[in-house]
Amino acid sequence: MPLRLLIIGAHPDDADFAAGGTAALYAAAGHTVGMVSLTNGDAGHHDMPGPKLAERRRKEAAAAGAVIGALYETFDIHDGELMPTLENRCKVIELIRAFNPDLLLTHRPNDYHPDHRYTSQLVQDAAYMITVPAVAPGTPHLMKNPVIAYLPDEFRRPYPFSPSVAVDVGSVVEKIVAMLHCHQSQFYEWLAYNTGTLDQVPSRDDERRAWLGSQVEERLRNQADRFRPLLVERYGANRGGAVKFAEAFEPCEYGAPLDAAAMTRLFSFC
């Protein structure tokens, strides 16, 4: 039976950065994938803030989604100004109801960026409310919650990321790179500027992609090593021990349980 995966990030590129491999595996298996940015990303640049950047980032996100045949939606909320208001909660409730996901991935509530934290808060606040008919009555309520899980990070307070499932994304690394390569304004401009590596960005398109690819592979290789016990538990000693690149997810207790049956249903093809 076809599944529906919804990834809700704070910014254009958050969804594919943290879960692009799993999204690609879902799409390749014939499932429906939706990626969402709750902000328009209009502050994420050192030279081009404002409406022009927001439009550029919307197009970049749409192109990234098209790499795997996914719809990438960008909300029109200012970057850096997302708040867990009742109005935004209703927007997220309506979003989840309209998509009706089997699996919903989002940020953890402890994160360096306020937009990430409040995206997580909004999803958590929406979790139960999507089943309540009198809340946001303009969209039909759902009868049950999806499985909700957190995207990986390295923050340790108040508690470190604690996943229960890890996914081998080695077969789709090139698709992850292809998606992130669409976000030219970020990986070759703003993030490079912000991290002091702008002078390292190659000028040629193919060299840029290779430069980005090496960073993506290093990050995913580190995650495979970090979550090796989960990979071995899931795939067995031989395959699990050989996985080079991985993504992992931590269940949110506000969603449906990620029990053995749900694990099989949602990840057996990954």
What value, to the nearest 5°, has the Cα angle with vertex 254 and ends 223 and 36?
60
Strands 165-168 and 246-251, how do they pair? antiparallel
pTM for the whole structure: 0.97
Residues 32, 3 contacting (CB under 8 angstroms): yes
Q: Is CATH 3.40.50.10320 the right assignment for the domain spanning 4-261?
A: yes
Q: How many of the other CB atoms lie within 10 Å of CB of 137?
A: 9
133-142: per-residue pLDDT in tens?
Answer: 999 999 999 9
* pLDDT value at residue 27: 98
Q: Tell me the C-alpha distance between 92 and 123, whole Å.
A: 7
pLDDT digits (tens, 9 = 90+) for 33-49: 999 999 999 999 999 99
Q: What percent of the chain has pLDDT over 70?
A: 100
